[in-house]
Amino acid sequence: MGAYFNLILVFNIFLLKGVTSTTFTFKNNCPFTVWPGTLQGGSSSPLSQTGFELGNGATSTPVTAPMGWVGRMWARTGCATDASGRFSCETGDCGTGVVSCNGAGGAPPVTLLEFTLQGDGGKDFYDTSLVDGFNLPASISVQGGSGDCKTSGCPVDINARCPAQLQLKNGGGAVVGCKSACEAFNTDEYCCRGAFGTPSTCKPSSFSMIFKNACPDAYSYAYDDASSTFTCTGANYLIIFCP
């Protein structure tokens, strides 16, 4: 009898783990190919896909994340393989030389989609972050789940309104990214460090407000929590580039 109940317990734990896993699906609405990247945080394991190609109009197969996964996603643009076989991108490059990011993050400026799954009270926490700048519009749409479960994103092309001091241009002179003030000027005030390393001393700047005015739901600087973090319970997520 004891063995029977132990078997039932193991089976129930297995079912619970299945219920609490989360899937991410990626959709590319941009009029060009993008190369999504994923990076785990803390002690989380890498997802099965850390980088892949996604053509115009394409939708990826779902990528499963385990309970408690923490990490971020983004899209790389302007990618190509050179004559030596090295892969690189104009924006969001991982620096690995291959399509998979393999534990490396995207070089700023880059639009980030960030997640902490099954955190406090079983809730997922998610946000769209422009703290590292912007490279293309992106959003997080919720599939199923319970709670507030709002869409988070930045659907506006900030590159079109990026001030000259923050512009990242490609070899042809086109603006392909908009840097954060921290990335552009590297001061304590803009980077929220040193004497400016607390919520009371680090305030929005005229530069961060360019991002915030364009995309009110996205993080625009390090302590922009109040209007930028969203929660949901038991959901799956659709990541849309150029929503």
The ranges of the chain with pLDDT < 50 are 1-19
CATH of 22-156+217-241, one of 3.40.640.10, 2.40.40.20, 3.40.50.1100, 2.60.110.10: 2.60.110.10
User: Rounded to two decimals, what is the model's pTM?
Assistant: 0.89
Looking at residue 52, its pLDDT comes to 98
pLDDT of residue 1: 42
pLDDT at 29: 98
Which amino acid is it at 241?
F
- 203 three-state secondary structure: coil
List the structure tokens of 28: 């590319």
**Phi, psi (5° rounding) for residue 71?**
175, -170
- Cβ burial of 98 (10 Å; 0-12, 13-18, 19+) is middle
What's the pLDDT at 118? 87
- Segments of 149-217 assigned E as strands: 152-154, 167-169, 175-178
pLDDT on residue 119? 67
| 176, 169 contact by CB (below 8 A) | yes
Q: Domain spans of the chain? A: 22-156+217-241
